[in-house]
Amino acid sequence: MDKKCVDGNLMTQVIIFGSSRSFGNTRKVVDDILDSAGIELFDLNNFDISPFDYEHRNQSDDFIPLIEKLLAYDTWIVGTPVYWYNMSTQHKIFFDRFSDLLKIRKDLGRKLRGKKLFVIASFGDSYPKGFEDTFEQICEYLGMEYLGSSFVYSGTKHEKYLEQNQAEVNKAKLKLGIVNESNFLTTSKLKSKI
Ligand SMILES: Cc1cc2nc3c(=O)[nH]c(=O)nc-3n(C[C@H](O)[C@H](O)[C@H](O)COP(=O)(O)O)c2cc1C
């Protein structure tokens, strides 16, 4: 969807969402941050995308049609829970299939160059050290621009992470052009604790 960001530039953003539950903690975080911005969301659970196959026998699944749709957008927002210190299985399968774009659909792979990527992750225990490295390296390899990540804590045990959540929300909104620095004081807090 076309929209103007706060500095007036036309930009298109899309959410690529992948979690083992479509309406759990991560979806709530993504909705709280982005709902008001009216950004289109693709839930990987709604697509038949099988793991990478060296023989490319899965060419007729939903991966290539989904990529063709996503290529219409400038900024890709990845919404994922932290599972075992890493992205969700849904996202891992999705990103593994990027190898198809380097082998059998190079025409599409080349179109990734210049796309922007931001990650919204929810975690429930400890701050995931090194989590961002994967996305940074994927972007570097594919010629995409890595905008950063926001980590929102969904647990209740660790007060320090709870306090940090609003800063992570603000970071996402700033990076995605939903607000500018001066808006921060007036932006809503996470609507409710997850
Ligand atoms: C299989 C699994 C693995 C998890 N691994 C981690 C982890 O490594 N670090 C962490 O902080 N939280 C971990 N969690 C907690 C989730 O990241 C957290 O509850 C998240 O908000 C769940 O989002 P969801 O409702 O979209 O699945 C894990 C949860 C599950 C189910």
29-38, 47-56, 116-125, 139-148, range with the lowest pLDDT: 29-38
The domain spans of the chain are 2-183
Q: Which residues contact 15 (CB under 8 A, 6 or more apart)?
A: 30, 34, 39, 40, 41, 42, 77, 78, 79
Q: 153 alpha carbon to ligand 1 midpoint, in Å? A: 10
Which letter does DSSP use for residue 150 in this model?
E
CA angle 72, 77, 80 (to 5 degrees): 135
Kindly tell me if the per-residue pLDDT of 34 is higher than 90: no
CATH of domain 2-183: 3.40.50.360
83 lines ligand 1 (CB under 6 A): yes
How sure is the predictor about 183, in pLDDT bands with cuts at 50, 70 and 90?
Answer: low
Ligand 1 centroid vs 103 CA: distance in angstroms? 33
Of the listed ranges 35-49, 80-94, 129-143, the one predicted with least confidence: 35-49
- Note whether 112 and 99 are within 8 A (CB): no
- Mean pLDDT score of the chain, rounded to an integer? 90
Asked whether 120 and 172 are in contact (CB, 8 A), the reply is yes
Q: Which among 47, 73, 75 has a CA at the least distance from the CA of 139?
A: 75
3-state helix, strand, coil in the chain (%, to 5): 40, 20, 40
Q: What is the pLDDT of residues 135-177, one digit of tens each?
A: 999 999 999 999 999 999 999 999 999 999 999 999 999 999 9
* pTM for the whole structure: 0.91
Is any atom of ligand 1 closer than 6 Å to the C-beta of 148?
no
Q: What is the DSSP string of 30-97?
A: HHHHHGGGT-EEEEGGGS--PPP-TT-TTTTSSHHHHHHHHTT-SEEEEEEE-BTTB--HHHHHHHHT
